[in-house]
Amino acid sequence: MAPEQPFPAGLLDVYRVVVALHQTAKQYGIDETQLSLAGDSAGGNLTYTVALLDQKLQLNYLHKLVALYPAVYNGHDAEKEMDFSDIQSYGAQADQALIAQYIASFRESPLISDWYLQGVDDEQMAVSPINAPAAMLAELPASLLIIGEFDPLRLEGEAFFERVRDAGGTIAYIRYDGMVHAFVDKIGDYPQANQAVLDLVDFVLAG
């Protein structure tokens, strides 16, 4: 983990696991043609960036992807950053000041730049998968993108969904109303968290 092991250590670690599973699949009773990858938040970023690496290496080991509230843009291009100034874009009918403060504070942390990237180009697709060429997004494995209504990563997640869809890729999107970042951790407390896990399993097992 960063800062001791900054980018691309995590990305390469995950991909090595995918390769190892594919190569030893029969030993563990795994169908190597049905490998799925899932992750949440930074893990959702790794889900898509590992899939892009898999595609770039022309190995195509991955069959399906699930990304829960993924970080898909880590750059600082003002024209690409999502506009959080208007809380109405989140559909907030109440507690608007509280929600706006939560979203703003989430985006202000310097840890990704200072600890994880440490000077690496934050616009490259291995860091910001939303910047991948349309042709590569179109060839991603079928994916499910899950996010909460009041998640600070919601707008960039929706923008990524639209980019993949418009490129001709196969992607489904489910937004769980009333939820914030990392809501799936609340399994047993929030019905939306329980449903998200069921939806994830249904997606992976279907077809």
Is 41 within a domain? yes
Reported as a single tens digit per residue, the pLDDT across 136-156 is: 999 999 999 999 998 989 989
Reported confidence tier of residue 82, pLDDT bands at 50, 70, 90:
low
Is it the case that residue 106 has pLDDT exceeding 90?
no
- On whether residue 128 sits in a domain, the answer given is yes
Residue closest to 10 by CA, chosen among 86, 60, 71, 62 = 71
Global confidence as pTM = 0.92
At residue 172, the pLDDT reads 98
Look up the CATH number of the domain holding residue 88: 3.40.50.1820
* Residue 2, in any domain of the structure: no
In a domain, 94, yes or no: yes
Q: Say how far residue 20 (Cα) sits from the centre of its chain.
A: 22
Amino acid at 76: H
The count of domains in the chain is 1
Distance, in Å, from the CA atom of 19 to the CA atom of 62, rounded to the nearest integer, reads: 10
Domain that holds residue 145: 9-205
In the sheet that holds 142-148, the strands lie side by side as 36-40, 64-68, 142-148, 171-176
3 assigned to some structural domain: no
